[in-house]
Amino acid sequence: MNGRRAGTGQRPYGVLIVGVGGQGVIVASDIIAEAAMNSGFDVKKSEVHGMSQRGGTVVSHVRFGPQVWSSMIPEGQADALIAFEQLEALRAMHQLHANGVLITSCQRIVPPSVTTSKQAEYPQDVLQQVQAQYADAQVVDAPAEARALGSEKMASVVFVGALSRHLGFEEQAWRRAITHRVPKGTEAVNWQAFLRGQALAS
Amino acid sequence: MNDTLQYLLSGNEAIALGCREAGVNLGSGYPGTPSTEILETIAKQAPEIYVQWSPNEKVGLEVAVGASASGARAISTQKHVGLNVAADPLMNVAYTGVGGGLLIVSADDPELHSSQNEQDNRHYARFAKIPMLEPASSQECKDYIAEGMALSEQYDTPVLFRVTTRISHSKGVVRAAEVKPHAVPGFKKRPDKWVMLPATGRARHHVVEERMQALTRLSESSSLNPIEWGDRRVGVITSGAAYVQTKEVLPEASVLKLGLSYPLPIEKIRAFAAEVDRLLVVEELDPFIEEQLRAAGISCEGKSATGLFGELTPGRLGGGLSRLGIIAQEQVATCSAEAQVTPRPPVMCAGCPHRSVFFDLKKHRGNVFGDIGCYTLGALPPLRTMDTCLDMGASLGMAIGSSKVSKDGRSTFAVIGDSTFLHSGMTGLLDAAYNQANITVIILDNRITAMTGGQEHPHTGHTLMGEEAPKVDFEQLVRALGIEHVTKVWNHDLAALDSAVSAAEAFEGPSVIIAEAPCALMPKRAHEQAYEVDTEACTACQRCARTGCPAITLAGLPAEDGRPQALIDPKVCTGCGLCAQVCCDHAIRHVPASENVEVVS
């Protein structure tokens, strides 16, 4: 990261995490929020549950700083966007600040509407469209990295690792958050997933 | 949860922790987004508190009232529309008052994230003449439980504890406090208080009005309604989620924050108004505060800035404030328009047992009165087979009413899930039997309350606290209500399902089909041998895709006529077999057993 630690300015730092129900967006945002709390920040996070489990879009907001009021990132002011799926990156990009950090998966999950409706389509050039607007967008094949460690389920922790380089938290803050939020017995391998994500971002 | 640390908790988790600290003895309710996790968290993390799911919110509140009458501290939880179901006990417990403290949680859903309306339940406090607490953060969610219990006991009143989705489902830092157990003295017989008859009710009404006056005095002086002095050019009256948005957008303004938001501290507000140049009310949904201020002769602005719809976001509130000239246009958080990309609405899961029912009903071309649950997705493309969704249990009443007057020659169906049927379908079915309505009722029995994340109910065999419980037998139940034509069918057998529907349709009078198969997600994920498309046999008729299964895409090879063949994602397929049963060409078959695939979660 460039300059000072994230969240130390007057305005809270906002991370927007988007994906598809079942991809682990909520776990990732829990880890980021808890690592921020462990780093001494005030933290709020917000998401909408309900029907998200049924394959719909999932959006989670995490904000941290000296004091945080709204749990929602003000419109267009996300400092970082992690997209677990390409199309969701494109859908959420308008929320990202012009100087924001964008990390997106290259994974494509075709919405069922594309199968059942003649109007809907999944464009081939989604990543190009994303990169046309954010030349620095980092494309991460997190599911492949996670599979290499034994299970695709850890992709969300790989993304967290990729983001971690932009936040400047101490390693211990991440380690405690991950240990607290992943299933018992998987702490060590999830830590490997985090480090792998971190290495990807270098 | 120990008391030396801080935690990152959702509003609902913080309410659960508050219940533990306040010595709450009993919690009851019916699942409903965004309220569900309150009782679930208590069940998991505070096992000393007795909690239960009731079949519906009315019973849930009555259970809590009974515990309160017996001296316990009790909490009743529901979503906003759930309080409509519990409105009868609510209006009357306002008269009887309480024994031990009684908090009634109403979790409202501005923006309709997962609801059929966005009603503003603050009106219930005024309607029932009871005090209302509105926490604005997770910390306050916890702290206000003990405050509310003390208030309830001191003023002999139930307390409405009103939260919204952004409070219930946002997480924030919470510092724990000491646990103070509450001893339960037991029920004391007091007919003047607990037997509501005309004579006692008349007397209690006077008690209620005197209580409102006492509560108004309390509200005027309560530390729950603090003034945060700042720039006096604008003074804001606000509460709950609207408070945090106010602080986000107008950090310098003077703010009167209402934690005890009913009854209003009118004189405190009048004095506050006199100290500021411009008085603004910031509230979501209805002008609940604003209208009361105007009625008291306090001029203010509010809905002209905030509007009547949805949640207040920083950008929406900022936009309203800039229209009033309170902040500059450049200060409003804005973003460019969302890219026009293919939407991704929620869909029925791969392997969902409801899918076959709607796929079959489409063929029968009847009028399908629907209900509330995951299966409401049957109203959306491509199935598009559910014609109504009104309220819990309405499928039955509406089907009966329609069947009595319709002469369009179409059959009348009511489709209702197992949990919703037990919630408020049984009385509707009794009506159908009693009044001999010519309808076919399909109970979609997936053996769980799926929509809200898999809660127990009287047909699951377990309670919220994990105890084993008797399982209600649907067949015996519907027969006991007077239904003669009852069939039970396995949802994943499409031919059997279709003949059951045809037979029920042909039957004159009320009939019931119990269409059963477990939810594909809960309590455990369905995982039978997956299917694949035989590319030699597939003629790309695409009938399988019309089931709307998310495992099927039209991304296969082009067939002779150029249309793409279907492709089944073996990682998503649960092996329910519906697509194989609808395939015209027998081109869908099991993946050979040797090719095992990892199932993604």
- Each domain of chain A, given as residue ranges in start order, spans 13-110+125-141+164-183
User: In this complex, do B381 and A113 lie within 8 Å of one another by their Cβ atoms?
Assistant: yes
Instruction: Identify the three-state secondary structure at position A58.
Output: strand
Considering CB atoms only, which of B8, B245, B451 is closest to A70?
Answer: B245
Taking the C-alpha atoms of residue B386 and residue B395, their distance in angstroms, rounded to an integer, is: 10
Tokens of residue B63, six digits: 């259970």
Start-to-end CA span in chain A (Å):
10
Tell me the nearest-neighbour CA distance from B57 into chain A, angstroms.
Answer: 19
> Are residues B568 and B538 in contact, defined by beta-carbon separation less than 8 angstroms?
no
Phi, psi of B109 (to 5 degrees): -130, 65
Q: What does the block give as tokens for B110?
A: 């501005």
* Host H or E run for residue A114: helix A112-116
Report how far residue B421's alpha carbon sits from residue B396's, in angstroms, rounded to the nearest whole number.
Answer: 9
Q: Pairing relation of β-strands B102-108 and B74-79?
A: parallel
Q: Which two tokens stand for residue B470?
A: 């008797």
Q: Which two tokens stand for residue B260?
A: 């005890």
Give the distance from residue B362's alpha carbon to the nearest chain A alpha carbon, in angstroms: 16
By CB atoms closer than 10 A (0-12, 13-18, 19+), residue A10 is exposed
Neighbours of A112 (CB within 10 A): 25
Task: Compute the half-sphere exposure of residue A195: CA atoms within 13 Å on the CB side of its CA.
Answer: 10
User: What is the rounded CA–CA span in Å between residue A85 and residue A109?
Assistant: 7
Q: Does B173 touch chain A (CB under 8 A)?
A: yes
Residue type, B62: E
Integer-rounded Cα Rg, in Å, for chain B is 27
pLDDT digits (tens, 9 = 90+) for B48-92: 999 999 999 999 999 999 999 999 999 999 999 999 999 999 999
User: Strand pairing of B531-533 and B588-590?
Assistant: antiparallel
B244–chain A Cβ distance below 8 A for any pair = yes
Q: CA B79 to CA B84: how far, in whole Å?
A: 9
Contact B171 A116 (CB under 8 A): no
Task: Split chain B (601 residues) into runs of 10 and give each run's mean pLDDT.
Answer: 72 98 98 97 97 98 98 98 98 98 98 95 98 98 98 98 98 96 97 97 98 98 98 98 98 98 98 98 98 98 95 97 96 90 89 97 97 94 95 98 96 98 98 98 96 94 97 98 98 98 98 97 92 94 92 86 90 95 95 64 41
Tokens at residue B277, please?
Answer: 């140049």
Structure tokens that stand for A135 in this block = 């030349």
Q: The tokens 């309150």 sit on which residue?
A: B38
- By CA distance, what is B376's nearest residue in A? A51
Chain A residues whose beta carbon lies within 8 Å of the beta carbon of residue B338: 91, 94
- Band (A3; pLDDT cuts 50, 70, 90): very low
Q: How many residues does chain A have?
A: 202
Are A115 and B171 in contact (CB < 8 Å)? no
Q: Which H/E stretch holds residue A33?
A: helix A25-38
State CA B13 to chain mean position distance: 16
Instruction: Assign B164 to helix, strand or coil.
Output: strand
Could you give all domains of chain B from N- to C-terminal order, each with its CATH number? 6-221 (3.40.50.970), 227-331 (3.40.50.920), 354-516 (3.40.50.970), 527-601 (3.30.70.20)
Beta bridge partners of residue B50, listed in sequence order: B26
Half-sphere exposure in the Cβ direction for B336 (13 Å, CA): 11
CA–CA distance, B225 with B243 (Å, rounded to integer): 12
The answer to whether the predicted template modeling score (pTM) of the entire model surpasses 0.90 is yes
ipTM of the complex: 0.95
Chain A: closest CA distance from residue B342 (Å): 6
The matching CATH number, chosen from 1.10.1070.20, 3.40.920.10, 1.10.150.120, 3.10.20.90, for A13-110+125-141+164-183 is: 3.40.920.10
Supply the angle between the helices B266-275 and B198-221 in degrees, to the nearest 10. Answer: 30
The per-residue pLDDT for B2 is 42
Q: Say how far apart CA B321 and CA B249 lie, in whole Å.
A: 9
- What is the reported pLDDT for B338? 86
**Cα separation, B162 vs B179, whole angstroms:** 23
pLDDT of residue B595: 62
Q: Find the residue in B nearest to A119 (Cα).
A: B342
Helix (H) / strand (E) containing B498: helix B494-506
- Tokens 């009939």 correspond to B511
From the candidates B114, B171, B362, B383, which should be mutated to test the interface with A, based on the most A CB atoms within 10 A?
B171
**Would you call B172 and A111 a contact, using CB atoms and an 8 Å cutoff?**
no
Confidence of residue A1 (pLDDT cuts 50, 70, 90): very low
Residue of B nearest to A90 (CA): B339
Mean pLDDT along residues A158-184: 97
The CA distances from residue B46 to B16, B184, B401, in Å, are 8, 17, 46
* Angle subtended by helix axes B57-69 and B87-96, to nearest 10: 20
